[in-house]
């Protein structure tokens, strides 16, 4: 293993995967809560609270990543854009199923926002896992002289 590769592997990162999984778990919990009670009048407050907490974790997680020196953003965005397309399709299919079942009003808004977070969260988790082991600059690029 080269010294460069060693440095690449040992670079310190925030607990992005753990926080991302917590965020994912929150929206899944909210989704289960709403899905279990869709046919009756249900308080949206727990689902909204879970959604807000999930969104905060997602935002905080991405912010923490911007603080990482030398993070391979080129690889992050390369992976994230394609996985986002894939999970946007998945989220769209699930949304379509909700619309076909005449889900409407508050529950539909909360479920739609939850799916939006899902469609962002999963690609960022995948992109982070790939990019954390990638070099800061794309291969062949010229590093600016400082």
Query: For binding to other proteins (CB under 8 A), which residues are involved?
Result: 1-2, 5, 8-9, 17, 20-21, 24-25, 28-29, 31-32, 35-40, 75, 79, 82-83, 86-87, 89-90, 93-94, 96-98, 100-101, 122, 125-126, 128-130, 133-134
Would you state the structure tokens that stand for residue 135, as one six-digit string?
């070099």
Q: How far is the CB of 139 from other proteins (least distance, A)?
A: 8
Q: Which is nearer to other proteins, 31 or 55 (CB)?
A: 31
* Cα–Cα distance, 59 to 137 (Å, whole number): 25
Q: Which residue is listed with tokens 């080129």?
A: 74
Q: Chain-centre distance of CA 117, in angstroms?
A: 6
**Shortest distance in whole angstroms from residue 2 CB to other proteins:** 6
**Tokens 């905060």 identify what position?**
56
* CB nearer other proteins, residue 113 or residue 134: 134
- Closer to other proteins at the Cβ: 25 or 49? 25
Residue closer to other proteins, measured from CB, 12 or 146: 12
Residues 6+ apart with CB under 8 A from 101: none
To other proteins, the closest distance from the beta carbon of 104 in angstroms equals 14
Instruction: For residue 68, give every residue at least 6 positions away whose Cβ sits within 8 Å of its Cβ, in sequence order, or none.
Output: 11, 12, 13, 14
Residue 48 CB, nearest distance to other proteins (Å)?
Answer: 18
- The distance of closest approach from Cβ of residue 45 to other proteins in the complex, given in angstroms and rounded to an integer, is 18
Helices (H) and strands (E) in the chain, counts: 5, 0
């Amino acid at each position: 293993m080269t010294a460069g590769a060693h440095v690449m592997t040992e670079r310190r990162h925030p607990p992005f995967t753990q926080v991302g999984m917590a965020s994912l778990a929150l929206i899944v919990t909210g989704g289960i809560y709403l899905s279990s009670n869709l046919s009756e009048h249900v308080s949206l407050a727990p689902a909204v609270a879970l959604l807000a907490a999930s969104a905060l974790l997602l935002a905080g997680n991405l912010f923490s990543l911007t603080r990482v020196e030398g993070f391979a953003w080129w690889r992050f965005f390369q992976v994230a854009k394609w996985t986002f397309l894939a999970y946007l399709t998945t989220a769209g299919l699930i949304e379509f199923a909700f619309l076909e079942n005449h889900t409407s009003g508050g529950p539909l808004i909360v479920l739609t926002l939850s799916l939006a977070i899902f469609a962002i969260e999963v690609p960022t988790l995948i992109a982070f896992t790939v990019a954390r082991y990638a070099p800061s600059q794309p291969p062949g690029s010229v590093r600016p002289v400082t």
